[in-house]
Structure 1
Amino acid sequence: MPKNETENDAAPTPRRGRPRDPERYRRILDAARRHFYAHGLERSSVDAIAVDAGVSKMTIYSHFGSKEGLFEAEVRDRTERVVGGLAGAEALDAQQPQKALLSIGEQFLTLAREDEALSQFRSLYGAAGVQPEACRAFYRQGAERLIGDLAAYLRRADAAGTLKVRHPRQAADLFLSMFLGDGHIRGLLMLDMPDARENRALLREAVRVFMAAYAEIP
């Protein structure tokens, strides 16, 4: 049986802060995304990822500590596209929650429909009992982070008086959950996915329902 590539005694402590070579860091993440998508976390090889990225295996360990650490960084990198939308001036405008929710929902729906994200869901659902650290990383950098950041925005909208949200985290969870129904299940099962028209209709309806529930101030 091959030696586990993620043994802690073989991996140096990962570096903290901004990578010294952002271009190399990006190559590693891009290579990891390709391999995790094609093979899943368990069957992906750090050696193969290193070759694909044009770096040494020890370079990957120095940045990420382990294969699970690399997986978590790759999930965080993809999640940044939605979290980054929350950081935009328009999306953060507490005076325009409908516009903000349309922007956030559109980015989240795109992320949730991606082949790479669906592949990781399938892989982790099947290995949840034997890969608890990977599952925790996926949740921490995916759902937990997105719900937390959206809840923070909803608190600001509540303070501004444009929404009435008593339980921001619960409301954020409900909003994002509206995009994980039929289309998401079809994607997990590798069936025909909703087209762009269906996705736009879902987005508009999700925002309408959310605003109807939380925009009316008693």
Structure 2
Amino acid sequence: MAFSTTPTPKPQRGRPRDPERGRRILEAAQRHFNEHGLERANVDAIAAEAGVSKMTVYNNFGSKEALFQAVVRDRTAPVVAGVPGAVALDPAQPEQALLAIGARFLALARGDDALGALRSVYGVAGAQPDICRAFYKDGPERVNGELAAYLRRAHSAGTLKVRNPLQAADLFLSMFMGSGHIRGLLKLEMPESAENRALLREAVRVFMAAYGA
């Protein structure tokens, strides 16, 4: 009698991960972290609100800190994805490109997702360096890098004179992080759309005056 030498697969523990269930956990966690912060947020309460067990939360995310990081990443992703990439912009038309980048960045950076992520990360600054480092890398550093890549292309095309693209990108984006941004972080009255448009036009004018060919 012959026996098969193929090893029998070991049964997997637990059920396969469900994207919808993961989304419910992230949404519940976001509300709890916003209200209580990382330290005081309770995984049992998050699990109950999401309609899952505490063990399911840990099976999906590993720890409360990892869940917090997943929430921050989830809220940061739309901001990064919403900023036009370097390849999609015409290096021969830097003023139009900067208007497009600035308008999208301004709208997204002042949205609830980005502001909520910043408030959450500021609350754990110093205590959770890995989370802060991951947020910076996935968000501000990536957006700055995308803009710097476009500025290099415009410099090569002769439409801008940019010796240090990363520094120039940082300066441009920083012009949108003033009083209106601070008001958003503090949950105060946000700037009117006319104020945002005026800021955008002035930021592009100043940048082109400094770096225009």
TM over 0.5: yes
Q: Percent identity, aligned pairs only?
A: 71
The answer to whether the Cα contact below 8 Å between 2:86 and 2:146 also exists between their aligned partners in 1 is no
Aligned residue runs from structure 1 range 195-214, under 5 A: 195-214=192-211
Superposition TM-score, scaled by structure 1 size? 0.73
Pick the aligned partner of 2:70 from 68, 73, 76: 73
1:118 maps to 115
Change in 2 beyond 3 A, CA 1:29/1:182: same
- Confirm or deny that 1:163 pairs with 2:160: yes
Change in 2 beyond 3 A, CA 1:124/1:164: same
Structure 1's unaligned 5+ residue stretches are 1-18
The size of the alignment, in residue pairs, is: 198
Change in 2 beyond 3 A, CA 1:116/1:79: closer
Of residues 124-133 and 178-187 in structure 1, the stretch that sits farther from structure 2 once superposed is 124-133
* Partner-residue secondary structure (3-state), 1:28: helix
Structure 2's unaligned 5+ residue stretches are 1-15
- Confirm or deny that 1:151 pairs with 2:148: yes
The answer to whether the Cα contact below 8 Å between 1:90 and 1:100 also exists between their aligned partners in 2 is no
Pick the aligned partner of 1:84 from 69, 81, 86: 81
Please tell me the residue identity of whatever aligns with 2:203. A
- Confirm or deny that 1:189 pairs with 2:186: yes
1:175 maps to 172
The answer to whether the Cα contact below 8 Å between 1:163 and 1:214 also exists between their aligned partners in 2 is yes
CA RMSD of aligned residues (A): 2.9
Distance (Å, rounded) in 2 between the aligned partners of 1:129 and 1:70: 18
* Partner-residue secondary structure (3-state), 1:190: coil
2:3 maps to none
The answer to whether the Cα contact below 8 Å between 1:106 and 1:203 also exists between their aligned partners in 2 is yes
The answer to whether the Cα contact below 8 Å between 1:91 and 1:101 also exists between their aligned partners in 2 is no
Q: Deviations over 1:56-91 (max 9, x none)?
A: 444443443333333333333333333323456984
Pick the aligned partner of 2:132 from 135, 141, 154: 135
Change in 2 beyond 3 A, CA 1:213/1:116: same
Distance (Å, rounded) in 2 between the aligned partners of 1:89 and 1:124: 27
